[in-house]
Structure 1
Amino acid sequence: MDQNDFERMIEAKNAEEALRVLNETHYGQYLGDLKGPQDFDVVLNEGLQGVKDLILKLFSPDKDLRFLWLKYDFLNLKSLIKLKFQGENAQLNNLGTIELDVLREVILGGAKKELPGNLNGVIREVLETYEKNQDPQEIDLILDHKYIEILIREFARIKSKILKDFLRREIDLFNVKIYFRIRGEGGKEADFIPGGLIPLRRFKISDEDKFVKSIDDFAEQAEFKHLEERVEKEGLLSLELAARRILFEILKKVQNKILGIEPVFAFWQAKVEETKLIHKILTLKNVGIAPAEIHRLIGS
C-alpha cells in the first residue's frame, strides 16, 4: 500500500467505505466473506501469513528467521494465559513458531509437551506468579521480559549491527514502560534490562522531573523528548509512535542491502507496521473518529 491508499482510508466516510478502499489493494484477496469492520483482524493476519509463507519459500533455513516469529508465540501465550485465569477472549494468530493446538493443550489442558526455547519454564513461572499475586500486569511483564531475553540470545548468534540497533530500541521501550509501571507501583528496579541505548542508571532516578530531563538530554534517543508530558497527555500512544519512528530510521539503513538477513527483516517489519497502521485506521473509523484526529493519533 502507498500513502494515497492510507489517505483514502482516513478520509473515507465510515469504516465500510475504508474497507472498500482496502479491497482495492492486495489485501482484497483476503477479504473473502468478511462480514464487517469488526472482523478485519482476520484479514490482516491472513495478509501477514501470506508474507510469512513467501519469506519461508525464498529464504532458508527457517531457524535463522525464528526471531521474526517469536513475538507471535508470546502474544499467543499472553492471550491463552489470560483466557485461563480471567476468561478473556483469546485473540490468537498462526504467525508464531508453535502450533496453536499445542499451546492450547499445554496452557489450558495442562499437557506435558516440550516447547522450544525453554518456554515451558516461562509458562510455569507466569502461572505460579499469577496464582500467587493475582496481578494480570505480571503476565505481560514476565512475558515481555522473557521475550527480550530470547531476542538477545538470538541476535548474539546472528551478529548484525542493524538487528542490534533494533534490539536496543526494544530494550529502551521496555525499560521506559517499566519506569512508568514503577511509578504506578506495578514494577521494580530488578525488572529493567541492560543493553539499550539509555543507560540503566537513568531509570534509577526517583525524581520524575529529573528522570524526564535526563531522557530529554540524551541525544541518541531524541524521540523520547518531552516524554512525561506526552505520556500523561496521550498515554502509551506516544511510546508507540516513537517506536515506529525509530524503527523506520533503522530500516532506512537496509535500503542498499540485497544479501543477508537484514533485507528479510526489513521487508517483514515494514509489512508488520503496515498492518498495524491499517488496523489503527479501521479501528478509529469504526468508532467514528474524524480524519484530522486520526492523523494526529497515527502520527501522520
Structure 2
Amino acid sequence: MSGLLALLDDVASISKVAAASIDDVAGQAAKAGAKAAGAVIDDAAVTPKYVHGFDASREIPIVWKIARGSLFNKLVILLPVALLLSAFAPWAISPLLMLGGAYLCYEGAEKVVHALGYGNTHDSEEHTHPRSDGPALEEQRVAGAIKTDFILSAEIMTIALSTIPGDDTLWMKALILAVVGVGITVAVYGFVALIVKADDVGVHLATQRRGAVAGLGRGIVKVMPGFMKLLMIVGTAAMIWVGGQIVLHGIAELGWHAPYDWVHHRAEAAAHAVPQAPGLVAWMVTAFFDGIFGLVLGLILIPIAHYIINPLMQATIVPLMARLRGAES
C-alpha cells in the first residue's frame, strides 16, 4: 500500500512539473508574440491584397493555402535554423534580429514612398492588371504571399528566439518556438479570413435580413474599405517603429550606445514634464523617435534593396524555397 501511495505521489509531482512547464511555455510564447507585434500586424495587413479580385468561393481556400505555406516556413525551415543558431551561434541572433528590423524599416519606408506617389508601382499594377488568370493567377498570388510571409516569419521567429532565456533546454526552445509559430499563424490568418469575408457577410445581412440587422450589414459594407486603409496605415507605422526600435537596441548591444541613450534621455525628460502620465508619455516619445530613425533608415535602404539585395535573393533564396516546396509536395 505504501508503495502505491509513493507511486501516486511521484505521479502527482511529475504532473505538477509538467503543468508548470506548460505554463512556462505559454507565458514565454505570449511574451515572444507580443514583442513581434510589428511583424505580426504587417503580416495581417498585407495578406488580404492577395485574394483581391477572386471569386468569393476561392477566398478562404487561398487564405488556407497561404496559411499552410506560412506554417511550413515557420516549422519546417525557420524553427530548425533558429535552434541551430541558438546551439552553435548565439552571437548571431542579435545581428540577424537587426537585419530583420532593417527589413521592416525598408518595407515600411517603401510603403510610405508609394503612398506619396513615388517609387516603383509594379506591385500595385500587377494586382490591378495581373498577367495570368484562373488557377495560374491563384498559384502566382499564393506563391507571392508565401514569399513575403517567409521574410516576416523569419523576423517573428528571430524575435521569439531572442526572448527565450539562454539556459532553457533545446527542447524547451523548440516547443516555445513551435507554439509561437502555430499560434501567430492561426491568429493572423484567422483574422485575415474574417476580414476577407466581412464584405460578403455584410451583403448577406443587408439583402437577406431586415431592420437593425440589415442596417448592420450595410454598415459593415460601408466601413470595410476605410478599415482596410486604417489597417494598412497601422501596419506600416508598426513596421517602421518596431524595426527602428530593434536596430537601435541592437546597435547599443554591439557597443554604440549614443543613439539609444539619446532617445532614452528624451523620453525621460518628456515623462518628467508630464507627471500625470509619465509611462505613456515616455512610451510615445520613444516610439516617435524610434519611428523617425526607422523611416530614415528605410529610405536609405530602398535603393540598396532594389539594386543589390533583391536581385541576389531572386537568384539564390527564391529558387531554394521553390525546390524545398517541390520536395514537400
- Whose radius of gyration is greater, 1 or 2? 2
Relative to its length, the structure with more helix (as a share) is 2
**Does 1 or 2 have the higher relative contact order (CA < 8 Å, sep 6+)?**
2
The TM-score with structure 2 as length reference comes to: 0.23
The TM-score with structure 1 as length reference comes to: 0.24
